Chains A and B, each alone.
Chain A
Amino acid sequence: MGFELNRFQGEVDEELVCPICSGVLEDPLQAPVCEHAFCKSCITEWISRQPTCPVDRQSVTSPQLRQVPRILRNLLSRLSINCDNAQYGCTRVLKLDSLSAHLEECEYNPKRPLPCEQGCGLIIPKDEFKDHNCVKELRALIHTQQQKMNEFQQEINEQRFLIAEQRREMQLLKDFMRAMRISNPSMRAIADAMERDEVLRWSNSLQRARVTRWGGMISTPDEILQRMIKRTLTEMGCPPHILDDLMENCHERRWPPGLCSLETRQNNRRQYENYVCKRVPGKQAVLVLYCDNAHMSEDMMVEPGLVMIFAHGIE
């Protein structure tokens, strides 16, 4: 809808008036053939009802509407109009093309959003300040937040319940599979093969690591260090059936005879370079999987593999 005529200084030419709303053209568009010009919103509304020019009824569709000539736009932008907030005391008279920029910052705009300076800091329209009460507003805010929190809490409880239920079902399935494995040898063979394949696939997806200083090996890592490594292995997608065994094998008490004491390690240190090691991202540790290290002598390897944690020296 166009600008009301009585907001303009001086006479406005009839050519600059929208025949639909009878205001001064706002974002004008023109019909393709007859070139009659209308406000964008007015002509769009009209065409949605009837695809004709409202002045001479020639057929017009929305995509056919065109930008009006530059001369018309220039004439419009030169008109002087008073501010939308004149009734609230703004006395500014502006060129039509600078009206929107002025409205953004007009201090007479009763709806201008301002931050409350009495302490709550909420941003509210200027005309609502006189009825504004920080405590009330904040209380309302707290109330809605509280409601949201209650909803989330309920949601969490619901999800917890579901998880517990699924855990029970998974346990049942595991027990069932174990029972099948024990009672049926061919089933056991299949399951073992599947597990081996899974480890192999996982191993192939890991990057090779290089140990530059074998002397940095920590043979008795503490609980915290072990938990950290275990977490990383889980994130790396370690097959669950070897995870616990692997972690057990990060301490010298479970290492094979060739590694289990300082003395044997000293004796065998020349063989270290033959290990195929996989990286544990972000950690000073390597994975030595049995499937990658079948070439090593028996007293240097255990199933399903080892985790070696270092103080430094991993690339």
Chain B
Amino acid sequence: MANIAAQRIKREFKEVIKSEEVAKCAIKVELVNDSYTELKGEIAGPPDTPYEGGTFILEIKVPETYPFNPPKVRFMTKIWHPNISSVTGAICLDILKDQWAAAMTLRTVLLSLQALLSAAEPDDPQDAVVAKQYRENLEMFQITARHWTNVYAGGPHVNSDCDDKIRRLVDMGIEEHQARAALSSYNWDLERATEQLFS
């Protein structure tokens, strides 16, 4: 790894650990290997959002050319959000692409991602299905996002209606996550989800 990238990441790692946000348990970062090329990030779901109470794990890959190029970040925890792929966890956020600036740090990236969870940008979507739901049926979107937070990120809000519908599909032999994804995409319409799964 280039000298400058290693020097930066070491310092940023310390910066995150010492930051107020860590004290408040809002963000966290851990080393994955000794060479500082890969890290594991963690952000808390922001309050007053469907993600509240959840903990979201991020994969952070630091390129050789860091900080002249942004780190490659993706959600490891499954999440229902217009700007994050519900399948791969890929993130659509300008600062991780063309709006990256060399003075940004792991801390600012994690805080930006937390802000993204608070304020989605449905007009610049990464996941078209989620974005459509967000625009057309905000209530349904919030139910779905909260349910995903509960199941994948350890959020506190159990939705028994959702769980029931998923169980019905699982009983028919569908894998659980597949069932959840299908129901989520069809606004929890059991009939349409079934149709799609068996077509």
Residues of A in contact with B (beta carbons under 8 Å apart): 1, 4-5, 19-23, 36, 42, 45-46, 49-50, 52-55, 57
Contact B8 A54 (CB under 8 A): no
Interface check B49, CB cutoff 8 A: no
B positions within 8 Å CB-CB of A: 3-4, 7-8, 11-12, 67-69, 99, 101-104
Q: Which 3 A-B pairs have the closest CB atoms?
A: A54-B102, A19-B103, A55-B103
Kindly report which residue of chain B lies nearest to residue A41, judged by CB atoms.
B4
Are A20 and B67 in contact, CB atoms less than 8 angstroms apart? yes
B12 contacts which chain A residues (CB < 8 A)? 22
Q: Which residues of B contact A21 (CB under 8 A)?
A: 4, 7-8, 67
Other A-B contacts than A21-B8, A22-B11, 16 sampled, CB-CB below 8 A, are: A5-B11, A19-B102, A20-B67, A20-B102, A20-B103, A21-B4, A21-B7, A21-B67, A22-B8, A42-B102, A45-B68, A49-B68, A53-B101, A54-B67, A55-B101, A57-B101
In the complex, chain B residues whose CB is within 8 Å of the CB of A49: 68-69
CB of B101 within 8 A of CB of A54, answer: yes
14 A-B pairs within 8 Å (CB atoms) are namely: A1-B4, A1-B7, A5-B11, A20-B8, A20-B68, A20-B103, A21-B8, A22-B8, A22-B11, A49-B68, A50-B101, A52-B101, A53-B101, A54-B67
Q: In the complex, are the beta carbons of B3 and A54 less than 8 A apart?
A: no
User: Which residue of B3, B12, B68, B103 has the most chain A CB atoms within 10 A of its CB atom?
Assistant: B103
A11 to chain B, nearest CB (A): 14
Question: What's the least CB distance linking B30 to chain A, in Å?
Answer: 20
B7 and A54: CB pair below 8 A?
Answer: no
Please report the C-alpha to C-alpha distance between residue A232 and residue B103 in the assembled complex, in whole angstroms: 74
Smallest CB separation, A24 vs chain B (Å): 11
**Contact call B7/A22, Cβ cutoff below 8 A:** yes
Q: Which residue of A lies closest to B10 (CB)?
A: A22
Which residues on the B side are within 8 Å of A46 (C-beta)? 68, 102
With A and B bound together, what is the CA distance between A55 and B102 in angstroms? 7
- Residues on B with beta carbons closer than 8 Å to the beta carbon of A57: 99, 101
Q: With A and B bound together, what is the CA distance between A57 and B102 in angstroms? A: 10
> CA–CA, A53 to B4, complex, Å?
18
Residues of A within 8 A of B102 (CB): 19-20, 42, 46, 54
In the complex the two chains form, what is the Cα distance from A302 to B7 in whole Å?
Answer: 91
The CA of A42 and the CA of B11, in the complex, are separated in Å by 17
CA of A19 to CA of B69, assembled, Å: 14
**Residues of A contacting B69 in the complex (Cβ-Cβ under 8 angstroms):** 49
Distance between Cα atoms of A57 and B108 in the complex (Å): 15
- Give the chain B neighbours of A45 by CB distance below 8 A: 68
Contact partners of A42 in chain B: CB under 8 A: 4, 102
Q: B101 contacts which chain A residues (CB < 8 A)?
A: 50, 52-55, 57
